[in-house]
Chain A
Amino acid sequence: MTPRFDLRHVRAAALAALVSGATSALPAQSDGPDCAAAADRVRRLPLRADNLDDLRVCTESGPPALAAVWATKVPQDDNLRDALVGASGHLRDVRLYEAVVNAASSGRPTTDRLAALRVLTQYYDARLAPTVGFLTRSAVGDPISRSSHGVGLTGGRPLPNGVRSEFGELLARLAQADPDPVVRGAAVRLRQGIAYSDPANTPVAAGTVKLVAGCGPRVTVRSTSDIGLSLRVRVLGTDFDRTLHLRAPIDGRPVDHLLALPKGVVTVSHGPRELDRLTQRNLRCPSELTP
């Protein structure tokens, strides 16, 4: 057998990246000569895992072929669906991305939507590889399954720059209002999984985190957010600057964290977003509280 060096070139680039430790997407390469045929097999023939695997390196013909699968015939067989997820997660291309987003957010079967969320998670971070078990059965807050060698390949039409923030916004929407409880639960698990490490891409609904003035130095940080949050509390003009790790509410009851703060305007923020600001702190103390 004579290896074909055009494709090998792609593989060698992947290898070089791995040995050097790179875990982000490799640069886009042109399609190899096998790719058109591989894409044709996926379109015409009953789905096979190895046919889907073959598309992993097809940066031009692979994304539309895989997008078509997402649009029309997401396999119900677990192994085939895993192969679809693996190939789709590897190819970072906007054509494929849009098809997967549609699969995740529309009224598709639950299994399709969970598979789509797995792919979108890899677009968010190539090293994250959530399993179905994670999405459906893990404790909220468990870390998202990872791969030690996450590598993606940039497709002919790269992912949009805002893919990480769009992922966070999608999760917030699904977690808040999706009618499918399984999908809603999966979104909460993923949302919680990135909340602590990436608050910038974890939206928090307006009004769900509040500062409540008490007497004297007292300020209560109150959260009704759907997930646990790491909140930064500051008193402007002072040295007070602390991050609170608040759990999610249980049984709908708000989570209150009582603080004694120096005088001044208090702010609470999550990542770059200020969620609330407290300027009036002049409540008088009843006799049973120390001022």
Chain B
Amino acid sequence: MDFPQPDVRRRVVWLGLLFGAGFFWACRDDTLAPRHGRPDGLTSAALVLDPDPNNPDLGCWVAPDPASWGSGDDGGSPPYNVTRCGIPVSLTWPGFVWQDNFTYTRVRNGNHMWPWLHSPGFLGDFSPEGWPWTITFGSGVKNVRVYTRWAEFAGGTVVLKGSTGAVIATRPIPLSPTYVAGSDPLTYTGIVDTLAFPDSNVWKIEIKPALDPNYPNEPGEYMGWQAQFERNPEILLDCGNFTVTNRHDVRRCVAKSAEAAKPLTITAWSFTSDSGDLIDRPAAEASDSVWQGAVVRTGFVKVQGTIGGQLLSTRVIVEIRPRTWDSTYRADTVNVVDNPGPLTSKPGALGDLGNAVGALIVNQPKVSEWLGSITDGGPNNGWVYMIKVPAKESSLVHVNTAALNDTSAFYRVQYATDKTVKGTKYCGRDWVATKFRPLADAHEGTKPEVQPNSHIGIHRRTVDSLQRPYFEKFAGPQEQNLTAYTTVLDARADRNSAAMDTATALNNINNSSFPCKNFVYVYPPGI
């Protein structure tokens, strides 16, 4: 079969819409006459489906009208997809298979198009392979009523199927009282009244006319239908894009009814973070249709309201992406070297030759520099977040210079030179006077910026590597205790720092750097 190109066909269809069915009827070729007799005097207008005055309009409708579905095609490339009343609807059928051996074989080029378009509704001539029509609704459809109108014969079924294809219900297309099979001219209207749809699912309707017993190869000839439906009342909530790239971005959440004709009365808003923290919008603002403000935690915005007296709610996710920290965002560092500090000239153990304490503490005097507080009345109103790393690396180092010199009691109790006694290697006085001091400095971290494997250096490096994403977690209710965050991170850094004493590779006082290993720590009276 020779089909026109799509653009040509589209123009033809639009012509049909413009000039009406009467034009097409006038232009039809006699060869298009139905074999068993088209209803004389029946105009296409007579077959247009109008809402039944005895049944209330359900508000939304779909019909097999390619033009209104955004296509001028004659059905050659289903499915057709359209959104009606906010509900996505898809229409498919197995195919238009026109029987060329029929006496009225359609001329499908030039101006000889059969007048099959009627809006709303459809009138067409199909072979059995053209059935059934399948209408697939997106979720949210509440009720559906199917109108059918046809000529020459009537009956059939409307089948409701679930998303898996299982048959939920089958309804016969009722016959009108005046119907006489095979009689011409006839038009009949059948209404399959409301099919109740369960909520929140995808449903299908199949419309399948009965076979005309006289002409079993031509069911559904001149068949038209319109499916009216009612959508569930629904709140549409939009909070913009779902990703925030900067903690200072403002999100604007707008709620409205899915159907303008059914207004929404908002009664409540809330925000729940991904870890369960909850903010209820104050009652005085709860009826506003917009909730706008900074959002600093991933979570969902929820809105509640009534549509037609029915209480409804919906929510959307607002996702936060961790900030890309500038390298300047890090804990302040203060390292105080206080020699010898509390360490005495008579050390009792190697550990008394130096000491270092690294501590991560809340940077109290600079609170306003690192703490952001949200006061915009939005979804995270009252919460706090980090502007900068809120902590200070405060370290204190003591190297025992009271002992590590050439006049101390510690110096005087050592052997003059390195000496092995009963298998124990003792360090001579030169270690006390000069050689051990650099090791103590490097071990404790008097200059941690150039001593990465010192106690203080390791503490700092641990904090540096973890601090930025770690403190992002603080964003949230102001009842949180920032000290807990610094304490936990500090403890982790401290463990790493302490571990260097057992990690030879990181310890600057090891078997190779300090081969003698031992000092004498005994101080006779008078020394």
Contact = CB atoms under 8 A, between A and B. Distances in A.
B346 A21 contact: no
Interface in A34-75: 34, 37, 49-50, 53-54, 56-57
B517 A15 contact: yes
Given A196-B487, A230-B484, A259 B413 contact: no
B491 to A, nearest CB: 6
A12 B283 CA distance: 72
A259 to B, nearest CB: 5
Contacts of A256: 479
Given A11-B522, A18-B351, A289 B270 contact: yes
B254 interface: no
A146 interface: yes
B265 to A, nearest CB: 10
Given A143-B360, A148-B357, A288 B479 contact: no
A15 B488 CA distance: 30
B327 interface: no
B424 A12 contact: yes
A157 interface: no
A246 B480 contact: yes
Contacts of A258: 277-280, 477
A4 B522 contact: yes
B388 interface: no
Given A146-B357, A258-B278, A18 B349 contact: yes
Contacts of B494: 146
Interface of B is mostly: mixed
Interface string A132-167: 000000011111011111110000000000000000
Contacts of A18: 349-351, 501
B498 A218 contact: no
B408 interface: no
B438 interface: no
Contacts of A210: none
A247 B521 contact: no
A27 to B, nearest CB: 14
A21 B484 contact: no
Interface in B456-501: 477, 479-488, 490-491, 494, 497-499, 501
A148 B397 CA distance: 10
Given A14-B349, A21-B502, A149-B501, A82 B342 contact: yes
A288 B350 CA distance: 67
Nearest to B271: A260
Interface stretch (A177-185, A237-245, A267-275): A237-245
A141 B487 contact: yes
A19 B350 contact: yes
B296 interface: no
A18 B353 CA distance: 11
Contacts of B349: 11, 14-15, 18, 149, 151
A20 interface: yes
Given A259-B277, A290-B269, A244 B502 contact: no
Contact of A1 (B278, B509, B524): B524
Interface residues of B, number: 71
A20 B362 CA distance: 33
B210 interface: no
Contacts of B520: 3, 8, 11
Given A146-B357, A228-B481, A259-B278, A287 B267 contact: yes
A255 interface: yes
Nearest to A194: B487
B502 A242 contact: no
B304 A11 contact: no
B280 A14 contact: no
A142 B286 contact: no
Contacts of B354: 148-149
B487 A139 contact: no
Interface residues of A, number: 67
A207 interface: no
Contacts of A148: 351, 354-357, 444, 455, 497-498, 501
A11 B302 contact: no
Contacts of B346: 50, 53
Contact of B362 (A23, A142, A245): A142
Given A148-B356, A148-B497, A218 B484 contact: no
Contacts of A82: 342
A291 B313 contact: yes
B377 to A, nearest CB: 15
B101 interface: no
A197 interface: yes
A225 to B, nearest CB: 11
B178 interface: no
B357 A147 contact: yes
A238 to B, nearest CB: 11
Q: Which of B269, B351, B354 has the most CB of A within 10 A?
A: B351
A23 B468 CA distance: 31
Given A21-B499, A141-B487, A149 B351 contact: yes
A224 interface: no
Contacts of B484: 196, 228, 230, 245
Given A3-B520, A146-B359, A256-B479, A290 B275 contact: no
A202 interface: no
A12 B349 CA distance: 8
Interface of B: 267-270, 272, 275-280, 283, 286, 302-304, 313, 342, 344, 346, 348-352, 354-357, 359-362, 364, 412-413, 421-422, 424, 444, 455, 477, 479-488, 490-491, 494, 497-499, 501-502, 509, 517-525, 527
List the 10 closest pairs (A to B, CB-CB), nearest first: A149-B351, A141-B483, A21-B502, A21-B501, A245-B484, A228-B481, A247-B481, A288-B283, A14-B349, A11-B521
Interface of A: 1, 3-5, 7-8, 11-12, 14-15, 18-21, 23, 34, 37, 49-50, 53-54, 56-57, 82, 86, 90, 127, 129, 139-143, 145-151, 192, 196-197, 217-218, 228-230, 240, 242, 244-248, 255-261, 287-291
Given A15-B521, A139-B362, 6 more contacts: A139-B364, A151-B349, A196-B483, A197-B491, A259-B276, A260-B272
8 contacts: A8-B522, A18-B501, A148-B357, A149-B350, A196-B483, A245-B485, A258-B280, A287-B267
